[in-house]
Amino acid sequence: MPLSFASTHQCRGAIPALGVLCALACAFIPLAARQKPAQIISPDDSAIASVCPVVYPDDQSPAARGYHYTFFGNAFFINDEGYLLTVAHVLETFRDGGQPYILVNRPNSPPKLLQVTVIAKDLPHDVAILRATPNPFVGKYSVAFLPLAADAAVRGQSVLALSLHPQRLQDAHSFELQREDSSPGTVLSYESTQLEKSAPAVDVFLLSHPVVKGQSGSPVMATESHAVVGLVEGLWLRGAPVSVAKSSALPTSTPGAAIPIRYAIALLEQHSVVWHTAGASSSTPSSSQAPQSASTASNPAAEQPKKQP
């Protein structure tokens, strides 16, 4: 079943499509990759510390409230080397040379904008790899990373989507506090659809909770393991395409849609990027259940790299 993506804030080419998914990227607006086991810490605070808004600074110098910026979606850290995952359609506005940034929190200091490099994009599956410069895990930042699930999400599984967005979407400044969206729900089903025009059909899984503006690219975590099972894609619509600008009129029962994490893992493998696992399976090492914070990420004795068979 083909999809349709709508956008705001003049997001050029925000993944053309044909049918039933309304993406919410713009809120105005040879060797398998190595895996490292994550360590146990409190999941609630550390999970949201892995999430960063994807933004673009609109001015050259900060004002009293910091840099004025435009907010496009979310990304999340997957290792202590500064790599992140997001959905590719969040980055469409930057394809003509614009430089994406992330907004990263710091202890006892205002958040700071960091440039990110687009390492790779897989448009048919709508996933992308980013890397922050400088690496916030070796600086004074409140950051963490999330492990990726070894097993696919299943129908009826309890999940949680986490995202951050500015308090004022149309007048956001970098020194201001961000709002956290924590969306618990369950996996409803898997659907086959087209994420890009003329591309092969791929799987998405549906969520029992709706998706809010700017939540594209956010991690969808398994509630029990706190491992990422998918990335928020958009709203699943049974009918004609609906513009993001009209999304507030949609019923609250409209389900969200997510990209299975296996597509992101395949892209990480292609580019030999390290990620972390949680829980044991036949193809991954045994590890813990929660994301790792910056305070433990630099401890080489706490984890040993392993290769996926």
pLDDT, one tens digit per residue, over 115-156 is 999 999 999 999 999 999 999 999 899 999 999 999 999 999
Structural domain includes residue 6:
no
Q: Does position 185 have pLDDT exceeding 80, yes or no? A: yes
Q: Pick the closest to residue 67 from 177, 140, 175, 168 (CA basis).
A: 175
Domain enclosing residue 115, as ranges: 21-307
Report the alpha-carbon distance of residue 182 to residue 179 in Å, rounded.
10
241 located within any domain: yes
> Which position has the token pair 């999970």?
47
In a domain, 300, yes or no: yes
What does the pLDDT read at residue 144?
94
Q: Is residue 5 part of a domain?
A: no
The answer to whether position 8 is within a domain reads: no
pLDDT for res 164:
93
User: Is the residue at 298 inside a domain?
Assistant: yes
The DSSP code for 265 is: H
Per-residue pLDDT tens over the stretch 34-91: 344 333 333 456 799 999 999 999 888 888 899 999 999 999 999 999 999 999 999 9
Are 79 and 275 contacting, i.e. CB atoms less than 8 angstroms apart? yes
Residue 15 lies in a domain: no
φ, ψ at 284 (rounded to 5°): -135, 155
> How many domains does the chain contain in total?
1
Quote the pLDDT of residue 298: 32
Compute φ and ψ for 136, nearest 5 degrees: -70, -15
Q: Which of residues 248 and 105 earns the better pLDDT score?
A: 105
Q: Which CATH number fits the domain that encloses residue 149? A: 2.40.10.120
